[in-house]
C-alpha cells in the first residue's frame, strides 16, 4: 500500500483521541539530536473542527482484536485496515518536524495480536525515533491496557507523556460496550506509571543524572454521552484520578455516533455543550480550588447547560457575595464568575500600589460581563442589580432567554402580547418593588 494512503487511514483512525497537547516539559536542544520541547506547548495549526494540531497523531495500526462498541476500529467494523512499520513512522516524524509542521509524535495503536505484541511495536518505534534518528522533541505514547508492566515502563523511559484511556466512566458500561477491557486492566498501567513517576522524581533529587520517566505526566480520556453516567459521576471520577493517580489531564470527548454500531448506543449528534461544561468543571477542580462536592448536590446530578459551573455555584451561594475587589484574597477572587487566574493576579498586583475602581478593572482587561454582579469596588456595585438569584439567573443565562421575557411573535394572539412585560431595558429592575 502507498504510504500516503496508509497515512490517511491511520490518521483517520486516530483522530478521535482528544489529547494533542505538547505541554509540560522544557527541554533544550542538543548538538547531537534534533529538536527541543517547550513547557507551554506550541500549536502548529488548527484543523477544521477548531482543535489545535500539535503532534503527528497516528496509529501504529488500526487492525484490532478488541470489539469495543463505541470505537470505529473495532474488529466487527468494516473499514480499510493498514499498519505502519517503525521506520516509516520515524521517517515521517523527522520529515514533518524539520519543516516545523509538528511539535512531536503522538503514537497510539489498536490492539494487534495481543496487548504485549502491540506494546512491543510501540516501544520499538520509540527506540528507533529516539535512538537512530536522535529525535529530541515531544513524544506522547499510549500504554495498552493489559500489556506487560516491563514494556510499559520501558516505553515511559522514552516518552514525555503517557496515557491510558478510561473510555467509559463506569465499570458496568465497560462491561456492556468494551467486553475485552476491565477496570483493572486500565487502572493497573495507570498506577504503574504513577508510581514510577514518583520514584523518578525522588531519584532526580538525589542523582542529577537519574533517567527521566514521563516528565510531562500522564493523561486519560473519557467518552461523554455514550453511556448514562451523570456529570457528577464523571467529575468525581476525574477528581479521584487527579488526587489518587496524580494525572496531569483528564480529557472528555463527546460521543460521536459510529455507523452500524450497537443499538444500545445513542444515535444523536455529539453533546458538545455538555463536553464544554465538563471541561469548565475540570478547570475549577484543578486551578480554582473547587471540589466536586461544591459543584453537585442531590438535585443537581448534571451541570447546568445554561451557564458555566462557577456562575451556577455563585448563584447557589449568593450569601458569599458581593466580594470587595480591594480586599478579597486570591482564592476568594477566583470564586467570582468571570475572574480567572490572570485577572486575579492582575488585581492583586495593581491594588498593592493603589485603590481600584471599575474603570481601572476595565482598562486592565478584567471581563466584567459576569463579574459585575458579584463584586464591589470601594463598597460600590457597578449597577444596581438586586442580589437575588432568580434575577441574576435571567441575566446570566447564555443559551435560553427565560420564557417570561421571550420575543413576542406577531401572531401569538392578544393575550400573549398583553402578558409580555413592557420593559426589558438592561438596568431596569425585573421585578417591581425588589430594589
Partner 1 sequence: MSGYVVLFDGSLDGLLCAVYAYYYDKILPLSIQTEDEYQPMLGAENYFVASDPEKAKRVWEGIRKKISPGAAYNVYTAFLSGEVEKHMAIFKYIVLGFKRGASVDNRLQEDCVLRVHKLARMTGYEAHMLSGFCRFAETKQGAYYCAISPKHRVLQLLAEHFRDRFMNHAWVIHDKKRGEAAVYDGNDYVIVDAPKDAAVEYSDDETRARDMWAAFFSTIAIKERVNKNAQRRHAALYFRANMLEFL
Q: Is 2 in the site for partner 1 (CB under 8 A)?
A: no
Q: Which part of the chain contacts partner 1 (CB under 8 A), choosing from 29-37, 173-181, 239-247, 278-286?
A: 29-37
Q: Which part of the chain contacts partner 1 (CB under 8 A), choosing from 5-13, 180-188, 203-211, 298-306?
A: 5-13
For cell 482598562, name the residue: 363
Report, in Å, the least distance between residue 13 CB and partner 1. 9
Per DSSP, helices labelled H in 288-411 are: 292-295, 309-316, 330-334, 341-351, 358-364, 368-371, 389-396
User: Which one of residues 21, 24, 25, 56 is an interface residue with partner 1 (CB under 8 A)?
Assistant: 56
Report, in Å, the least distance between residue 353 CB and partner 1. 5
Contacts of 274 (CB under 8 A, 6+ apart): 224, 225, 231, 254, 303, 305
Contacts of 25 (CB under 8 A, 6+ apart): 37, 39, 138, 160, 161, 215, 216
Report, in Å, the least distance between residue 433 CB and partner 1. 39
Contact (CB, 8 A) for 60 and 121: yes
User: Which one of residues 23, 24, 57, 188 is an interface residue with partner 1 (CB under 8 A)?
Assistant: 57
Q: Is 1 in the site for partner 1 (CB under 8 A)?
A: no
Contact (CB, 8 A) for 187 and 166: no
Q: Which is nearer to partner 1, 129 or 430 (CB)?
A: 129
Q: Is 28 in the site for partner 1 (CB under 8 A)?
A: yes
User: Which one of residues 208, 263, 299, 349 is an interface residue with partner 1 (CB under 8 A)?
Assistant: 349
Q: Which is nearer to partner 1, 42 or 318 (CB)?
A: 42
- Cα–Cα distance between 160 and 153 in angstroms, integer? 12
Residue 45 main-chain phi, psi, to 5 deg: -165, 175
Q: Which part of the chain contacts partner 1 (CB under 8 A), choosing from 54-62, 145-153, 224-232, 393-401?
A: 54-62
Q: Which of residues 114-173 bind partner 1 (CB under 8 A)?
A: none
Report, in Å, the least distance between residue 72 CB and partner 1. 11
Q: Which is nearer to partner 1, 210 or 256 (CB)?
A: 256
Report, in Å, the least distance between residue 202 CB and partner 1. 29
Contact (CB, 8 A) for 97 and 35: yes
- Cα–Cα distance between 207 and 406 in angstroms, integer? 67
Residue 300 main-chain phi, psi, to 5 deg: -105, 90
Q: Is 389 in the site for partner 1 (CB under 8 A)?
A: no
Q: Which is nearer to partner 1, 346 or 395 (CB)?
A: 346
Q: Which of residues 267-306 bind partner 1 (CB under 8 A)?
A: 269-270, 272
CA distances for 378 relative to 129, 326, 356, 363, angstroms = 60, 7, 8, 17
Q: Which is nearer to partner 1, 272 or 416 (CB)?
A: 272
**The residue count for the chain:** 435
Q: Which is nearer to partner 1, 56 or 193 (CB)?
A: 56
Q: How many helices (H) and strands (E) does the chain have?
A: 16, 10
User: Which one of residues 87, 276, 360, 395 is an interface residue with partner 1 (CB under 8 A)?
Assistant: 360
Q: Is 187 in the site for partner 1 (CB under 8 A)?
A: no
Q: Is 82 in the site for partner 1 (CB under 8 A)?
A: no
Supply 62's cell numbers: 488500526
- Cα–Cα distance between 84 and 128 in angstroms, integer? 13
Contacts of 133 (CB under 8 A, 6+ apart): 34, 90, 91, 93, 94
Q: Is 244 in the site for partner 1 (CB under 8 A)?
A: no
**Cα torsion 226, 228, 234, 237: sign:** negative
Q: Which residues bind partner 1 (CB under 8 A)?
A: 3-4, 7-8, 11-12, 14-16, 28-31, 33-36, 38, 40, 42-54, 56-57, 92, 95-96, 98-101, 103, 254, 256, 269-270, 272, 346, 349-350, 352-354, 356, 360, 363-364
Amino acid at each position: 500500500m502507498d504510504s500516503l494512503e496508509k497515512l490517511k487511514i491511520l490518521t483517520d483512525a486516530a483522530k478521535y483521541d482528544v489529547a494533542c497537547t505538547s505541554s509540560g516539559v522544557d527541554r533544550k536542544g542538543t548538538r547531537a539530536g534534533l529538536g527541543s520541547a517547550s513547557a507551554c506547548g506550541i500549536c502548529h495549526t488548527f484543523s477544521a473542527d477548531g482543535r489545535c494540531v500539535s503532534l503527528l497523531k497516528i496509529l501504529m495500526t488500526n487492525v484490532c482484536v478488541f470489539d469495543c462498541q463505541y470505537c470505529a476500529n473495532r474488529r466487527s467494523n468494516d473499514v480499510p485496515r493498514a499498519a505502519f512499520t517503525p521506520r516509516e513512522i520515524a521517517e515521517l516524524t523527522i520529515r514533518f518536524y524539520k519543516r516545523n509542521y509538528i511539535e512531536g509524535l503522538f503514537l497510539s495503536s489498536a490492539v494487534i495480536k495481543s496487548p504485549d505484541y502491540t506494546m512491543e511495536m510501540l516501544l520499538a518505534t520509540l527506540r528507533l525515533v529516539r535512538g537512530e534518528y536522535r529525535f529530541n522533541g515531544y513524544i506522547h505514547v499510549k500504554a495498552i491496557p493489559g500489556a506487560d508492566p516491563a514494556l510499559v515502563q520501558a516505553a515511559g523511559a522514552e516518552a514525555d507523556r503517557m496515557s491510558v484511556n478510561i473510555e467509559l466512566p463506569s465499570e458496568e458500561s465497560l462491561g456492556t460496550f468494551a467486553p475485552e477491557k476491565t477496570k483493572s486492566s486500565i487502572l493497573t498501567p495507570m498506577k504503574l506509571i504513577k508510581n514510577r513517576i514518583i520514584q523518578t522524581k525522588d531519584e532526580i533529587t538525589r542523582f542529577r543524572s537519574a533517567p527521566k520517566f514521563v516528565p510531562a505526566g500522564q493523561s486519560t480520556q473519557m467518552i461523554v454521552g455514550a453511556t448514562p453516567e451523570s456529570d457528577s459521576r464523571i467529575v468525581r471520577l476525574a477528581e479521584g484520578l487527579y488526587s489518587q493517580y496524580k494525572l496531569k489531564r483528564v480529557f472528555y470527548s463527546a460521543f460521536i455516533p459510529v455507523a452500524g454500531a450497537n443499538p444500545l448506543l445513542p444515535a444523536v449528534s455529539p453533546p458538545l455543550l455538555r463536553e464544554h461544561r465538563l471541561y469548565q468543571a475540570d478547570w475549577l477542580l484543578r486551578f480554582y480550588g473547587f471540589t466536586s462536592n461544591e459543584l453537585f448536590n442531590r438535585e443537581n446530578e448534571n451541570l447546568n447547560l445554561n451557564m458555566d459551573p462557577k456562575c451556577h455555584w455563585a448563584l447557589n451561594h449568593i450569601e458569599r457575595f458581593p466580594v470587595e475587589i480591594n480586599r478579597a484574597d486570591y482564592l476568594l477572587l477566583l470564586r467570582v464568575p468571570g475572574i480567572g487566574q490572570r485577572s486575579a493576579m492582575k488585581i492583586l498586583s495593581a491594588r498593592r500600589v493603589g485603590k481600584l475602581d471599575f474603570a481601572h478593572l476595565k482598562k486592565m482587561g478584567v471581563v466584567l460581563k459576569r463579574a459585575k454582579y458579584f463584586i464591589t469596588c470601594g463598597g460600590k456595585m457597578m449597577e444596581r442589580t438586586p442580589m437575588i438569584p432568580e434575577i441574576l439567573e435571567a441575566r446570566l443565562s447564555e443559551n435560553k432567554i427565560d420564557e417570561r421575557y421571550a420575543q413576542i411573535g406577531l401572531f401569538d394572539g392578544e393575550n400573549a402580547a398583553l402578558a409580555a412585560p413592557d420593559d426589558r431595558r438592561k438596568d431596569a429592575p425585573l421585578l417591581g418593588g425588589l430594589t
